[in-house]
Each structure stands twice: as structure tokens, then as C-alpha cells.
Amino acid sequence: MRSVKAPVILLIIVAFSALVIIPGIESASGVSDTDVGVVSYVDKVKINAGNSDSFKIEVVNYLGFIENDITNSRMVSIAFTSPNETTVSVAKNDGDFVLAGQEHRSIIVNVDIDRYATAGKYTINIALTVRDLNGDSETTTSPIEVQLVIMSALSSGETYNKIMGLFANPLPEPFNGPLATAIISFLLWMVIGIVAMLILIPVLTRIITKNNEESRKKIKKGLRALFPLAVLLFAFDNGLRVYGAPEDVIGPIEAWFNVIYIVVGAVIAWRLYIIFIQYMLSRIEKNNRIDQKDMDLEPLFRLLGKLVLWVLSVALIMSVLGFDLTAIITSAGIISLGITFGAQSILSQFFSGMVLLTTRPFKSGDLIRVGDSGIYRVKTVNIMNTIFENWDNEETVTMPNNAVSSSTIVNLTGDGLIYKIQVVMNIDYENDVDLAKSLMVKAAMEHPSVITNKSVDLPYTRLTAFRDSSIELRLTSYVYDFNDNGRVGGELREVIFKLFKENGISIPFPQADVHIDYASKEEAKNGHGD
């Protein structure tokens, strides 16, 4: 009997020990909130509303490292709590990860602030959910705190309930509240703006336009229409801040106010730009660098000014409204590249026209030679093409500007209509060369269209060549008008011919001496001769 009871008692003792020891073993292998910890490298982050920033944290598994064993490895998940107007995130592979014993991981935490976030001090809480790899146990660590300071240009800040945002309101109730202070501030800014307009506009317009009364009136009229609008918007915006309106109210209103400011500024800049280019072109005209009928530079500068103002204004407006200019500029660059290839010829004409209009190799009325073509009179230089009149046939010729700018241009009358002509005459070898030269000069000096007032070189002659049958003499003289060079040249030849005839100077015709050598029939037959 005793032998039976002993094994039973032993079995009961083993079972009881198992009930006590096994839970202890499970508890030893379970997850503790001290297994894994998180440390932040910063305790405070300052970010402007509408911007983003980042900071680094370190997650560490404090358990010992066991080779080829996952007992001390932990699955870690990161969770954040932050204000509603912020977004806190980490990279996708940093949200959930496994840390072996003694392993640590550096993680970048990104913080994005809404553009209309309320300024103030907030807290970002960072907590870890830790599990063993079998999924049998998990725990959440105590969160660490990182202070978040949001700064906003839309915040009332120190302007709240201050007159004009500058001075404390000394008035008694109910006139010292935010609404009353905002109304008072609005009215004061309007009065100051109107007074400033009455004083500054006459002074500024007089400085800008000087003695140009017509331009001054235009500028005054424009500023008197636009300046009160700008003052009204500024006063209203200041009133909102004094009242303490929330950022999500001030933000959109101020954005549209800024759009109006940009438009007003662009209009004023355009009018000032027009006055400036008109002033500069008038100065150039007074200096005889450009004539009155050749003022086609103004349309070019108007076009360039419009392009620049449009691009800048649209870019500023899109930036104010929150568009990503980087992406837009990149897309515009790709589109522009396609347009460039598709409209290469048109763009070439356009930029060639800009070069011609700015470098001014010729102007309206000039007689030029383009490449190897004939002589043309310039009629109009446009941005895409140049219109000529054929000098000989009175035909109108239109050339693309890229064809003109890529050709060799000879301006025959660029410095004026005075033109040098040359008349070539041939005399006999037996004639008096000095007499012939003096007769040619006499013919030129007596011609009314030849310049003899010593403003240019007086007519002169040179012996230029010995021909087979004659001596070549060349008369050089200047005429007042290029258009007369053909007529004057012909008349000089006629007069010189008469003077030569009267003074015994002969103009030989080509002569050749032919010698005939008679050979005997026998020599001719044999192919011999002297």
C-alpha cells in the first residue's frame, strides 16, 4: 500500500511544481516596456506655418544579443500624436521594423505644418508598440515629448487689440475691445493713406516725368485710381489682425489681397516703363541716332516689357496662391522644348528681328545690299520680317528676318546719302596723260551734283592700268545723293568725252597687229616654215 502511495505523491508534487514554474518561465520570456526605448536628438522644433522640417530619433533594443536566437528580437511600431494642423511621418520602412538584441536604428521624423496653422506651442508625442516575433506578447512604451513651436506670419501676435497694431487702446469700455480697436485702426489707416496720396503723388510724378506734362497727367490719374485701393486693402488686413481673426480667415483674404497688390503694381510698373522707353527713344532721336519715322523700336520694347511683366506677375500670383512653381517651371521647360523644335523657323525669325531692331544695321530709307542680291531701299523693319522696295523696279520685297540677319549686309547710305562714284576712261598711248587727267577733274568740278566744298575729298584721277591698246584713267568724286550716282556718272562720261575730243585726246578701240608669213608649198606640205 505504501509502495503505491509514494509514486502518486511524487506525481502530485511534479504537477504542482509545473503549475508554479511554467507561468514564471512565460513571464520571463514576455515583452516588457523597458525592452526597447526611444531617444530624441532634439527637445524643441521651430517651424513656420506652410513649411516643413525634420529631426532625428534613435530606437534601441536594450536586451542582450543571442546568436541564432530570436528570443530577444522585437517588432517595433512607431506612433505619433500631434496637433490637427500638423502631419508627422517617417519613411515607410521606418514605421514598422525588427530590432535584434543590442541593435539600434536612427529614424528621421518629418513634420509638415499647414499654411494656415495657428501659431503657438504644441507637443509631439512619440510612443512605441513593442511585440515579440511570435506575436504572443506586446506592450506600449511611455511616450517621449518633443516641443513644437509653430510660427505664422498670419498670426495677430503683438498687434492684437492695439490701435493700428502699434499702440495700446486707452479708450474706456466698450471702445477698448478688439472689434472697436480694429474699426479705429481701419479708419486711421485710411486717413493716413489719403493724406500720403495727396502729398506723395504730385512729388513722385514730378520727379519721374520732369517736364513731360502729358505723361505726368497720365501717371497722376492712374495713381489716384490705384493708390486708394491699395490703402483700403492694407487697412482692412491690419484691422483683421488687430481684431484677432484666426489664421485660416486671414490667410485666404490676404492671399487675394496680395494678388490685387501684384496686379496694381504691374499696372503702375507698365506705365512707368512706357514713359521710360519713350524718354529714351526721344533722347536717341535728338542725338540723330534714329529718325522720326523709324520709331519701330518702341513696339519691340513694348512687346518685351509685356512679356516680362506677364511672366513675373503670373509667377508671383501663382506663388501667392500656393502653387508649386518648381513643378510648373519644369513642365513649362519641357513644353517649351517641344515648341522650340516645332516652331524653330518662327522663333528664328522672331529673335533675328529682335537682333535687327536692337543692333540697327540699317533703318528705314537706307539703301542696302543683302548678300549677293541687288540694291534695296528699307521700308519697314518688323519683328518677324523686313519689307524692302526694289531700288530698280519699285517692287516690294518681304524677307524673313532670319534670312536678312544671316546674310552679309552692305549699307550704302548708312552714314548719309553722300556716295563715292568712279568714272573710268581710256586714252591712246600717244596722248598727254596729264592733260587727260586735268580734263577729267575739270568735268567733275564743274558738275553741280559733285561735292566741291571740301567737306569730302575733291575730285581726283589716277592712272590705274596699262591696257593692250590704251592707258586706263579713273576719276573719283563724291555726289550728294546716292540715288543720283548713275545719272551723274553718265553725265560726267559725256562731258569728258567732249573735252577729250576738243583737246585732241583720243579714245582708242582695241587693235591687233596681224603678221602673215608666206611659206613655200613644199615647206607647208612638209609642215615646216620659218
Give the closest residue to 57 by CA, choosing from 111, 96, 130, 108.
Answer: 108
Tell me the average pLDDT across 407-424.
82
Whole-prediction pTM: 0.54
In the prediction, which pLDDT does 156 show? 84
Show which of 411, 441, 474 is a domain's final residue: 411
Nearest-10 Cα torsion for 188, 192, 195, 196: -170
Query: How many angstroms separate the Cα of 134 from the Cα of each of 35, 98, 130, 137?
Result: 16, 12, 12, 8
Tell me the average pLDDT across 231-252.
88
Residue 102 zone, left/alpha/beta (φ > 0; ψ -120 to 50; rest):
left
Query: In this predicted model, which residue has the larger pLDDT, 407 or 323?
Result: 407
Q: How far apart are CA 221 and CA 232, in angstroms?
A: 18
Geometric angle at alpha carbon 445, from 444 and 451, rounded to 5°:
90
For residues 204 and 239, membership in a common domain is answered with yes
Tell me the average pLDDT across 307-335.
78
For residues 17 and 86, membership in a common domain is answered with no
Please compute Rg for the chain using Cα positions: 48
Say how many Å lie between the first and final Cα of the chain, rounded. Answer: 173
Give the closest residue to 362 by CA, choosing from 397, 386, 391.
Answer: 386
Geometric angle at alpha carbon 210, from 207 and 212, rounded to 5°:
135
For residues 240 and 290, membership in a common domain is answered with yes
DSSP-derived 3-state class of residue 171? coil
Tell me the average pLDDT across 331-357.
71
Query: How many angstroms separate the Cα of 380 from the Cα of each of 357, 363, 390?
Result: 11, 8, 13
For residues 3 and 59, membership in a common domain is answered with no
What percentage of the chain exceeds 70 in pLDDT?
83
pLDDT at 357 over 80: no
pLDDT at 44 over 90: yes
**What is the tens place of the pLDDT at every residue in 420-449?**
889 999 999 889 999 999 999 999 999 998
| Domain assignment of residue 13, yes or no | yes
**What is the tens place of the pLDDT at every residue in 206-226?**
777 776 677 777 777 777 878
For residues 29 and 71, the answer to whether their CB atoms sit within 8 Å is yes
| Domain assignment of residue 156, yes or no | no
Q: How far apart are CA 48 and CA 2, in angstroms?
A: 86
DSSP-derived 3-state class of residue 456? coil
Across 189-203, 209-223, 285-299, 388-402, the highest mean pLDDT is recorded for 189-203
In the prediction, which pLDDT does 247 show? 84
For residues 495 and 443, the answer to whether their CB atoms sit within 8 Å is yes
pLDDT band at residue 323 under the 50/70/90 scheme? confident
Geometric angle at alpha carbon 242, from 240 and 244, rounded to 5°:
70
The two most distant CA atoms of the chain are separated, in Å, by 179
394 burial (CB, 10 Å; 0-12 / 13-18 / 19+) is exposed
Q: How far apart are CA 85 and CA 80, in angstroms?
A: 14
For residues 119 and 152, the answer to whether their CB atoms sit within 8 Å is yes
| Domain assignment of residue 56, yes or no | yes
146 burial (CB, 10 Å; 0-12 / 13-18 / 19+) is buried
For residues 311 and 172, membership in a common domain is answered with yes
| Domain assignment of residue 300, yes or no | yes
Q: How far apart are CA 104 and CA 91, in angstroms?
A: 16
pLDDT at 113 over 90: yes
Q: How far apart are CA 171 and CA 420, in angstroms?
A: 90
Q: How far apart are CA 231 and CA 186, in angstroms?
A: 10
63 phi, psi to nearest 5 deg? -70, 160
pLDDT at 374 over 80: no
For residues 222 and 83, membership in a common domain is answered with no
Show which of 346, 379, 411 is a domain's final residue: 411
For residues 18 and 94, membership in a common domain is answered with no
Tell me the average pLDDT across 493-505.
91
pLDDT at 164 over 50: yes
Geometric angle at alpha carbon 119, from 241 and 95, rounded to 5°:
150
DSSP tag of 97:
E
In the prediction, which pLDDT does 8 show? 41
For residues 174 and 319, membership in a common domain is answered with yes
| Domain assignment of residue 139, yes or no | yes
Least confident of 69-73, 387-391, 440-444, 522-526: 522-526
Give the number of other Cβ atoms within 10 Å of residue 435's Cβ: 15
pLDDT at 290 over 60: no
Q: Which residue range is the domain that position 496 belongs to?
A: 419-502
Give the closest residue to 72 by CA, choosing from 25, 24, 29.
Answer: 29
For residues 142 and 127, the answer to whether their CB atoms sit within 8 Å is yes
For residue 279, which amino acid is it?
Y
In the prediction, which pLDDT does 524 show? 55
Q: What is the DSSP string of 70-93?
A: -TT-EEEEEEEE--TTEEEE--GG
Geometric angle at alpha carbon 16, from 11 and 19, rounded to 5°:
130
Q: How far apart are CA 349 and CA 399, in angstroms?
A: 10
For residues 427 and 505, the answer to whether their CB atoms sit within 8 Å is yes
Give the number of other Cβ atoms within 10 Å of residue 412's Cβ: 18
For residues 397 and 390, the answer to whether their CB atoms sit within 8 Å is yes
For residues 171 and 314, membership in a common domain is answered with yes
For residues 146 and 178, membership in a common domain is answered with no
Show which of 326, 349, 375 is a domain's final residue: 326
Number of domains, the chain: 5
In the prediction, which pLDDT does 3 show? 43
| Domain assignment of residue 158, yes or no | no
Give the closest residue to 148 by CA, choosing from 211, 87, 107.
Answer: 87
**What is the tens place of the pLDDT at every residue in 8-26?**
454 344 334 433 433 333 3
User: CATH no. for residue 468?
Assistant: 3.30.70.100
Tell me the average pLDDT across 356-367.
79
For residues 50 and 104, the answer to whether their CB atoms sit within 8 Å is no
For residues 40 and 21, membership in a common domain is answered with no
In the prediction, which pLDDT does 512 show? 65
HSE-up (13 A, CA, CB side) for residue 448: 0
| Domain assignment of residue 237, yes or no | yes
Least confident of 140-144, 288-292, 367-371, 407-411: 288-292
| Domain assignment of residue 242, yes or no | yes
Cell numbers of 106, please? 536612427
For residues 142 and 174, membership in a common domain is answered with no
Tell me the average pLDDT across 194-211.
81
Q: How far apart are CA 203 and CA 221, in angstroms?
A: 14
Return mean pLDDT, the chain: 81
Tell me the average pLDDT across 21-48.
73
